[in-house]
């Protein structure tokens, strides 16, 4: 019997004669979902995140492309407060990538190559081109043609663009640089007083006054070195700007002819009155050797090249002399200027103002009043034996006749206008040589040749620099930095207003060690760029690593004094923690650093004590020596070109100038510490507390400026990307709308900016439309002809043109209103951010200019930079806080020292105020 408690499904009772209704089935239990709800939520969240990331990545990539295309133009428009047509009319502009920034740098670095640099070197370094000579003029024209070819400049149909300095044509060429819209090039002719040799002689006289020995003063060469053999007597071995005349006297040896060497002679009781001083090259500028002798009453000065200064590469160490080996040719002579470089450079007769053809001349105070001659080691060896122990110490007779006259020189300049036309970067290299100058300066000219080629390739690829670039080929540098100095004095105000940086290249390659000199504000920039260039001869290393390179020609014998001089120079360079040395003088950066206060640098490979001997200013500074010993393969020439060119492109296209004021401000304290160390060795009591406090205030102001320039650039880039995003969205919305319109109607949109075929079709000449005719309602079809009442097509005169003008005016008005409305955002903020960057850049420029004092340095007022200048008795080498330092070392006067400390304090306080944010 079934359990009475068993529940049965409910069955409705039905009549017997009806069909029974089946019982309802029991509903199955609901199954749990395959994917838990929490996992579904996670998957949905992951999908949304992936979608967002994809959109973001796509947007960023496309925004980067838009920025790449329009960055330079937008920045230029913002900096110049000009309209931004690329944003306002995106459908009217072709879609093209514009080289700028990193892309331009990468493109540039592909251009310089060894074959081209070698060809350029052979073009300039296989014939003499002394400043003012016909060969020099030919090289000026050659460089002009290079600029015209590479920069796409159409030469004038008639005469070459050669302008006499001071004429309206010459002045307008430079003063008009900031208004240029296309590249241009020209030659400026200046008219300095220089000299050329007439005749000279050097003899040892016997007791009867007759010569017992006559020196062979000219270099002796054969055709083992083809150019040296051909041109050994093309340029007489003499000193430029030396005093003409003759002298007789006893020889006195003065070692390097440094101030300390003359002081030792004076303290030893050696009388130089009427004597002929014999000094060796090295330690200081040759003109200051003559100056020291002159001030102690000497009648003349002889300067020779001593093999002891050649390091280990000497005949005593078993090396054959050039051209048969790497050691010094005993007949080689170092020509050079004997101008007193540390007093002032340039034309001796026009100090502080340019040498025009009709300039008023003065008696130069930076040139010697006693004659001098350069000597080879072969001749010096005879004289040293004459005055050595056991020598006869006979009278020496010297003759140096020269022709002092006004000689024209030629500076060649080329310009690439930038978007920001009132900020200019100048790149310079001198072109003149004492003979052929395969190293000095033609190795530099060959590297600049490659830089010009690289810039030309960028221009042909559509690049326009953000800032304007000036390429300068200076003349008469060898006589005393004359070409660059005269141009700098001629356009001093323009340089102060517009030049943001000067990059100098003298000699590219004379040895294996890379050297960079710069104002401290550019030290980090110079080094960081060098670290990105590959080492020319050692794969896996950078160009900066070459600053530790040295030659491989070793030997057991090495002169201790020569080693000390070399190591002292190296120590000066390494004093700055960056490894970048200071700029004193000796090349064309001088007028920019010391007179105008422009951030500058100078680079190149230099010789070490283990390198093949570089025959400085000799006929043996030849193409043969350069290809065999200096830079076989010309890889170092190319590395220098890449470093110089990359610096140029990067600084030119940088939003914020890469000028590091904080590093410079920190170095000022190191300069003061050095002065205090000097002061501690004297009995002079000078208070430096005010000066130190001023330096600390400058450091604080500079740190704030660092913060401000970083924020200013970040904000500008932020709005730059916003502009790009806006541009991208507008373009894509328009494309989508056009596609919808194309589906709904037969009317096509205007082609998008990247629709090249459609744009090409639009660019084709349109067919002439039929003239619009007058129509009335009675005309069938609205046209005259067979089916109309009028058998002709009546015209309405000027009505169509008038209507077209009215429509264009209305469209322009609407467009102007639209642009005005658009300037509210984001354009207005973008312009404001650009003005903030411009303000920061102006402060960076003001920092370097701030060290220039109008009164200059005591006794050499042409030099106006109170932070650094060539040492008064160094010429080349830099002295920091020069006026203050020399108050201790030369004047030894506490009153002068306190005055200079106070003058520096006021100057630095003023700089701190000018860069304050």
Residue 353 predicted with pLDDT over 90: yes
Question: pLDDT tens-digit profile of 528-566?
Answer: 999 999 999 999 999 999 999 999 999 999 999 999 999
For residue 14, pLDDT over 80 is answered with: no
Mean pLDDT over 98-125 rounds to 95
- Taking CA atoms, 641 is separated from 113, 129, 360, 455, in Å, by 9, 23, 40, 11
Closest CA to 477 of 241, 690, 652: 241
Per-residue pLDDT band at 32 (split at 50, 70, 90): low
The answer to whether the CB of 181 falls within 8 A of the CB of 416 is no
pTM of the model: 0.86
Pairwise CA distance, residues 506 & 496, whole Å: 23
Q: What is the mean pLDDT of the chain?
A: 88
Q: How confident is the model at residue 635 (pLDDT cuts 50, 70, 90)?
A: very high
In this predicted structure, what is the pLDDT of residue 762? Answer: 34
SS3 letters for 274-319? CCEEEEECCCCCHHHHHHHHHHCCCCEEEEECCHHHHCCCCHHHCC
Contact 285, 257 (CB under 8 A): no
Q: Is the dihedral angle over the CA atoms 835, 840, 841, 845 positive or is it negative?
A: positive
Question: What is d(CA 556, CA 198) in angstroms, rounded to the nearest whole number?
Answer: 43
Position 82 scores a pLDDT of: 64
d(CA 916, CA 31): 75
- The whole-number pLDDT of residue 789 equals 37
pLDDT, tens digit, for every residue of 814-869?
A: 555 444 444 555 778 888 999 999 999 999 999 999 999 999 999 999 999 999 99
Q: Give the helix/strand (H/E) hosting 709.
A: helix 689-744
Which residue out of 150, 219, 477, 753 is catalytically annotated? 477
Contact 192, 406 (CB under 8 A): yes
Average pLDDT over residues 871-876: 89
8 Å CB contact between 392 and 207: no
pLDDT of residue 560: 93
Tens digit of pLDDT for each residue in 180-221? Answer: 999 999 999 999 999 999 999 999 999 999 999 999 999 999
| pLDDT for res 605 | 98
Which of 441-450, 483-492, 734-743, 759-768 shows the lowest per-residue confidence on average (mean pLDDT)? 759-768
- Do the beta carbons of residue 411 and residue 430 sit within 8 Å? no
pLDDT of residue 45: 85
CA–CA distance, 650 with 35 (Å, rounded to integer): 57
What is the percent of the chain with per-residue pLDDT over 70, rounded to a whole number?
85
Please report which confidence band the pLDDT of residue 908 belongs to, taking 50, 70 and 90 as the band edges.
very high
pLDDT of residue 86: 43
The pLDDT of residue 335 is above 60: yes
Q: What is the pLDDT of residue 17?
A: 56
Check if the beta carbon of residue 857 is closer than 8 Å to that of residue 882. Answer: yes
Distance separating alpha carbons of residues 82 and 842, to the nearest angstrom: 19
List the single range of 73-77, 373-377, 493-497 with lowest mean pLDDT.
73-77
Q: Scanning the structure block, which residue is given the tokens 């070692």?
A: 255
Q: What is the pLDDT of residue 805?
A: 58
Strands 245-249 and 396-406: antiparallel
Query: What are 829's two structure tokens?
Result: 């903020």
C-beta separation of 619 from 233 below 8 A? no
What per-residue confidence (pLDDT) applies to 585?
94
Q: What residues are paired with 880 via a beta bridge?
A: 868
Least confident of 34-48, 279-293, 457-471, 835-849: 34-48
Provide the pLDDT for residue 760: 42
CA–CA gap between residue 465 and residue 103 (Å, rounded):
12
The span from the CA of 770 to the CA of 474, in Å, is: 63
Which pLDDT value is given to residue 31? 65
Contact yes or no for 480/365 (Cβ under 8 A)? no
Q: Of 643, 418, 660, which Cα lies nearest the Cα of 520?
A: 660
pLDDT over 60 at 631, yes or no: yes
Interval 642-669: pLDDT, tens = 999 999 999 999 999 999 999 999 999 9
Average pLDDT over residues 341-368: 96
Whether the pLDDT of residue 27 is over 80: the answer is no
Least confident of 53-57, 514-518, 573-577, 846-850: 53-57
Contact of 632 with 511, CB cutoff 8 Å = no
Residue, of 822 and 597, whose pLDDT is higher: 597
Inform me whether the pLDDT recorded for 570 exceeds 60. Answer: yes
Residue 402, pLDDT score: 98
The Cα 241–Cα 287 span in angstroms is: 9
Active site residue 477: yes
Better pLDDT: 299 or 748: 299
pLDDT at 30: 64
DSSP code of residue 321: B
> What does the alpha-carbon distance between residue 508 and residue 114 come to, in Å, rounded to a whole number?
13
What is the pLDDT, as a whole number, of residue 111?
98
pLDDT for residue 60 is more than 80: no
* Sequence-ordered alpha helix ranges (H) in 357-506: 377-387, 442-460, 477-480, 482-490, 492-498
Asked whether the beta carbons of 204 and 213 are under 8 A apart, the reply is yes
Q: What is the tens place of the pLDDT at every residue in 748-773?
A: 665 544 444 434 433 444 444 444 43
Nearest partner of 886 among 720, 624, 682, judged by Cα: 682
Give the least confident one: 193-197, 513-517, 728-732.
728-732
């Amino acid at each position: 019997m079934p359990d009475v408690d068993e529940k049965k499904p409910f069955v409705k009772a039905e009549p017997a004669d009806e069909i029974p209704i089946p019982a309802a089935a029991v509903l199955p239990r609901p199954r749990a979902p395959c994917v838990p709800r929490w996992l579904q939520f996670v998957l949905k969240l992951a999908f949304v995140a992936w979608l967002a990331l994809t959109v973001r990545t796509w947007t960023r990539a496309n925004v980067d492309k838009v920025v790449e295309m329009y960055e330079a133009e937008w920045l230029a428009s913002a900096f110049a407060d000009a309209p931004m047509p690329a944003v306002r009319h995106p459908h009217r502009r072709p879609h093209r990538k514009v080289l700028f920034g990193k892309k331009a740098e990468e493109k540039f670095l592909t251009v310089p190559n060894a074959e081209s640099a070698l060809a350029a070197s052979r073009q300039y370094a296989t014939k003499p081109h002394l400043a003012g000579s016909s060969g020099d003029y030919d090289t000026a024209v050659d460089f002009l043609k290079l600029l015209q070819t590479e920069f796409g400049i159409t030469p004038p149909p008639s005469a070459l663009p050669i302008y006499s300095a001071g004429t309206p044509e010459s002045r307008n060429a430079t003063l008009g640089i900031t208004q240029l819209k296309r590249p241009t090039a020209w030659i400026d002719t200046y008219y300095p007083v220089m000299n050329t040799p007439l005749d000279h002689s050097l003899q040892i006289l016997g007791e009867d006054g007759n010569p017992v020995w006559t020196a062979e003063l000219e270099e002796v060469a054969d055709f083992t070195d083809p150019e040296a053999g051909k041109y050994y007597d093309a340029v007489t071995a003499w000193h430029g700007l030396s005093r003409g005349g003759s002298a007789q006297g006893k020889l006195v040896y003065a070692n390097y002819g440094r101030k300390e060497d003359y002081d030792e002679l004076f303290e030893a009781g050696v009388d130089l009155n009427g004597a002929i001083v014999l000094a060796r090259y090295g330690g200081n500028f040759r003109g200051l050797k003559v100056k020291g002798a002159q001030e102690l009453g000497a009648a003349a000065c002889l300067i020779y090249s001593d093999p002891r200064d050649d390091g280990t590469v000497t005949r005593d160490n078993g090396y054959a002399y050039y051209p048969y080996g790497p050691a010094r040719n005993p007949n080689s002579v170092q020509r050079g200027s004997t101008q007193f470089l540390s007093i002032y450079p340039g034309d001796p007769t026009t100090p502080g103002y340019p040498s025009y053809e009709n300039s008023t001349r003065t008696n130069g105070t930076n040139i010697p009043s006693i004659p001098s001659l350069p000597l080879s080691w072969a001749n010096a060896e005879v004289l040293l034996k004459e005055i050595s122990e056991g020598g006869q110490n006979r009278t020496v007779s010297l003759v140096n006749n020269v022709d002092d006259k006004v000689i024209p020189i030629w500076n060649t300049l080329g310009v690439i206008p930038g978007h920001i036309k009132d900020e200019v970067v100048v790149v310079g290299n001198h072109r003149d040589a004492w003979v052929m100058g395969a190293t000095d300066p033609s190795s530099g000219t060959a590297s600049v040749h490659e830089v010009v080629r690289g810039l030309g390739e960028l221009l042909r690829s559509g690049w326009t620099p953000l800032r304007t670039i000036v390429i300068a080929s200076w003349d008469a540098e060898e006589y005393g930095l004359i070409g660059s100095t005269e141009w700098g004095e001629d356009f001093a105000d323009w340089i102060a207003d517009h030049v943001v940086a000067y990059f100098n290249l003298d000699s590219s390659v004379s040895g294996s060690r890379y050297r960079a000199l710069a104002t401290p504000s550019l030290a980090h920039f110079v080094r960081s760029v060098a670290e990105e260039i590959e080492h020319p001869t050692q794969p896996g290393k950078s160009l900066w690593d070459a600053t530790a390179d040295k030659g491989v020609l070793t030997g057991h014998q090495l002169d201790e004094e020569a080693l000390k001089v070399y190591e002292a120079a190296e120590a000066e360079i390494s004093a700055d923690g960056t490894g970048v040395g200071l700029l004193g003088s000796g090349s064309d950066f001088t007028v920019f650093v010391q007179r105008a206060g422009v951030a500058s640098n100078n680079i190149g490979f230099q010789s070490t004590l283990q390198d093949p001997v570089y025959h400085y200013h000799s006929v043996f500074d030849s193409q043969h020596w350069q290809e065999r010993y200096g830079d076989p393969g010309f890889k170092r020439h190319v590395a220098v070109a890449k470093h110089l060119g990359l610096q140029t492109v990067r600084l030119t296209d940088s939003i914020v100038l890469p000028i590091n004021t904080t590093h410079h401000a920190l170095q000022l304290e190191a300069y003061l510490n050095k002065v205090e160390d000097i002061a501690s060795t004297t009995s002079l009591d000078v208070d430096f507390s005010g000066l130190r406090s001023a330096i600390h205030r400058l450091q604080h102001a500079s740190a704030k400026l660092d913060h401000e320039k970083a924020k200013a650039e970040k904000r500008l880039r932020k709005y730059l990307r916003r502009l790009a995003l806006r541009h991208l969205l507008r373009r894509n919305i328009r494309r989508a709308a056009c596609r919808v319109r194309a589906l709904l109607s037969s009317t096509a949109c205007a082609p998008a900016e990247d629709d090249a075929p459609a744009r090409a079709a639009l660019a084709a000449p349109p067919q002439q439309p039929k003239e619009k005719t007058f129509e009335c309602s009675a005309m069938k079809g609205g046209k005259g002809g067979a089916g109309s009442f009028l058998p002709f097509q009546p015209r309405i005169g000027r009505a169509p043109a008038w209507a077209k003008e009215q429509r264009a005016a209305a469209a322009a008005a609407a467009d102007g209103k639209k642009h005005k409305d658009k300037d509210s955002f984001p354009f207005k903020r973008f312009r404001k951010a650009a003005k903030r960057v411009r303000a920061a850049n102006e402060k960076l420029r003001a920092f370097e200019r701030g060290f220039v004092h109008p009164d200059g340095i005591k006794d050499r007022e042409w030099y106006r930079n109170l932070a650094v200048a060539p040492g008064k008795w160094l010429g080349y080498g830099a002295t920091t806080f020069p006026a203050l330092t020399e108050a201790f070392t030369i004047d030894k006067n506490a009153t002068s020292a306190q005055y200079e400390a106070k003058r520096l304090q006021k100057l630095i306080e003023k700089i701190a105020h000018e860069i304050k944010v």
